[in-house]
Structure 1
Amino acid sequence: MIQIQHTLLSDEIFEEQFICDLCKCKGQCCVEGESGAPLTQEEFQQIKGILPEIWNDLSLKAREVIDEQGIAYTDYDGELVTSLVNGKECVFTYFDADGVCKCTIDDAYREGRISIRKPVSCHLYPIRLTEYSNFTAVNYHRWSVCEPAVKRGRKEGIPLYRFLKEPLIRKFGEEWYNEVCEAARLVKKDE
């Protein structure tokens, strides 16, 4: 474990190599799992605010779920998470012509129709954060659906923290990320 500012990073953040390979995994991280994507209270409010802008992008079934239970619920861990269609895919997902699961929030952001991004928990995946009173744990969530990403990352030699540079900076800031890079250099030197 490496401590950087108010975070504690698992060694796997530096050691594992990873590049998402949507052609192979088809975005299963947005479909499979035990609950929806974790949301902060701020993200919940922001998504409620942009819902009219993306409403027509959502599937009919997703709209029905949102009408019935809202955009989010509290899961068995007590976390606020996005609502699910049929207990599987996030209500904000859709499938493209190739069967790849994609995000309506992310698409609308990239198209400039909304000013907020998809939830940071989605942007950071396969990194998962756990908040404690004195620090935030930054851990790699190893999952079989991401095996193609691990293979591609190893082939191209891209460590997880480099692949997730943009969302890590989004969450923790550029100064924090620069410290992560310095820690990675020091760890590499010691090997």
Structure 2
Amino acid sequence: MIPIDNTIVSDNLAEIKFVCDLKKCKGACCVEGDFGAPLLEEEIGLIEDDIEVIKPFMTEAGIKTIDLYGVFDYDFSGEFVTPLVNGCECAFANFTDDVAWCAIEKAYEAGVTRFRKPVSCHLYPVRISTRQSFDAVNYHEWGICRPALINGKRLGIPLYKFLKEALIRRYGKTWYSKLEKEINTRNTKKDQA
């Protein structure tokens, strides 16, 4: 484990090689699973504020789900998550050539919202569990990401580097620099051993 400020980071972020391969996985993380993506409470308001400019990028079924149930749901532990369409894909998922993509992110790329997408989606396959005095930053192993493990190994890119932008978005540049420094120090010690 790697302690950085108020976080405990799993060694997996430094050790596992990972780069998403959408051509192979087809964005399955937006479709598979029992619940939608975790949402921070403040993200709910951002989505609600911009839902009308996000809707043109959504599927008809996704819009119906949002209109019926709102922009969030709850998981089994009472945490906020994105709603699902008929228990399947995220209400904000849309598809091109059978590849899922995020309607919120497409709206962001089009310049109609300043909210990129839920930070949990940006961070995936990392999941953050908030404890009493710290955040546990862990790799979520899931078979649907096997193509990303193969791609990451082929490219030699560790998970923390692949997720640099998302980790900075969540914890800031200073935090990321500390993480990078600690990982480099550990790697140097391993090389010298």
Q: Considering the TM-score relative to the shorter chain, is it more than 0.5?
A: yes
Secondary structure at the aligned position of 2:87 is classed as coil
Structure 1 unaligned runs (5+)?
A: none
TM-score by length of 1: 0.97
Q: What displacement does 1:54 show?
A: 1.4
CA offsets, 1:56-77, max 9 Å, x none?
2221111211121111111112
Partner of 1:25: 25
Match of 2:79 in 1: 79
Distance 2:56 2:151 in 1: 35
Letter in 2 for 1:53: V
Per-residue deviation, 1:163: 0.2
One-letter identity of the residue aligned with 1:171: R
**How big is each residue's C-alpha offset from its partner over 1:16-38, in whole Å with a ceiling of 9 and x where there is no partner?**
00000000000000000110011
Whole-angstrom distance in 2 between the partners of 1:130 and 1:99: 31
Following the alignment from structure 1 to structure 2, what is the Cα–Cα distance between the partners of residues 61 and 160? Answer: 33
| Structure 1 CA distance for aligned equivalents of residues 145 and 27 of structure 2 | 9
Give percent identity, aligned residues only.
Answer: 46
Determine the C-alpha separation between the residues in 2 that align with 1:107 and 1:36.
18
Q: Distance in 2 between the 1:75 and 1:4 partners? A: 28
Q: Distance in 2 between matches of 1:154 and 1:63?
A: 38
Q: Aligned pairs, how many? A: 190
Letter in structure 2 aligned against 1:137: A
Q: TM-score, normalised by structure 2?
A: 0.96
Residue identity matched to 2:160? Y
Distance 2:78 2:10 in 1: 24
Deviation digits for residues 104-133 of structure 1 (CA, Å, limit 9, x no counterpart):
110111121111110000000000000011
Q: 1:29 & 1:138 partners in 2: Cα distance?
A: 18
SS of 2:137's equivalent in the other structure is strand
The alignment's C-alpha RMSD in Å is: 0.8
Matches of 1:68 and 1:174, distance apart in 2: 39
Residue 121 (structure 1) aligns with: 120
For residues 13 and 55 of structure 2, the distance between their equivalents in structure 1, rounded to whole angstroms, comes to 36
Deviations 1:120-163, CA, capped at 9 Å, x for gaps: 00000000000011100000001100000000100110000000
- Of 140-149 and 68-77, the range deviating more from structure 2: 68-77
Alignment of 1:132 onto 2:128: no
